[in-house]
Amino acid sequence: MRETAGGEETAGIRVSDAERDAVIGRLSAAVGDGRLTLEEFSQRMELATAAGTRADLDSVTADLPADAAPAVTSGASGSPSLHISPIGGFKVNGPWRMDRHVIVGALVGGAKMDLSQTQLAAPEVVLTKVSLVGGARITVPPGIRVELSGFSLFGGTRIEAGPEPGPGAPVIRIRAFGIVGGTRVQRSRRG
């Protein structure tokens, strides 16, 4: 247990909502730095939200630097990362680094992305999907805020609801455009 200057133990002291929110903000910054995947953020956010004492809260960030400078990423220049495939679409499953703005383009074929093991280049990223025929199916872990916009002449939009992420949660802004093919966002399930 840690002690203050007066010798008083601090690890067993109860934490406030503001302290929990500050740790969630720190976790979100760690996602943007590439130190945590979205799945790791989701798991740690749940632990931080349930933390009762400082020891509980400190264990969530024990392996993160106290004041880390943001990592420089390939997409940090502001230019979007392009993934163009005339036929076939774009698929992601497993570890992947998602730049601040990703553009997926196809004549025929959409986007199928499992972002559970993804590292984000920033706490807020944008995914733009443009295709004539082909929708978007995107899986995110719990605790991630998803904002969806776009247009599809034939095809619906479906977002699987989950608990509202707390302040500081990473945001994925999805902009999906197409003639045929809708957009489905679902939350990953844990075993």
Q: pLDDT averaged over the chain?
A: 83
Query: In the predicted model, what is the mean pLDDT of residues 132-148?
Result: 89
CA gyration radius, the chain: 19
The whole-number pLDDT of residue 169 equals: 86
Is-above-0.85 flag for pTM? Answer: no
| Residue range 81-105, pLDDT digits in tens | 888 888 888 899 989 899 999 999 8
**Alpha-carbon span 144 to 151, nearest angstrom:** 23
Give the residue extent of every domain in the chain.
Answer: 81-187
Q: Which residue has the higher pLDDT, 79 or 190?
A: 79
Residue 99 is given by DSSP the state P
- pLDDT of residue 8 exceeding 60, the answer is no
- Is 177:149 a contact under the CB 8 Å cutoff? no
What percentage of the chain exceeds 90 in pLDDT?
27
**Alpha-carbon span 184 to 166, nearest angstrom:** 22
3 state SS for 15-33: CCHHHHHHHHHHHHHHHHC
The whole-number pLDDT of residue 9 equals: 62
- pLDDT of residue 126 exceeding 50, the answer is yes
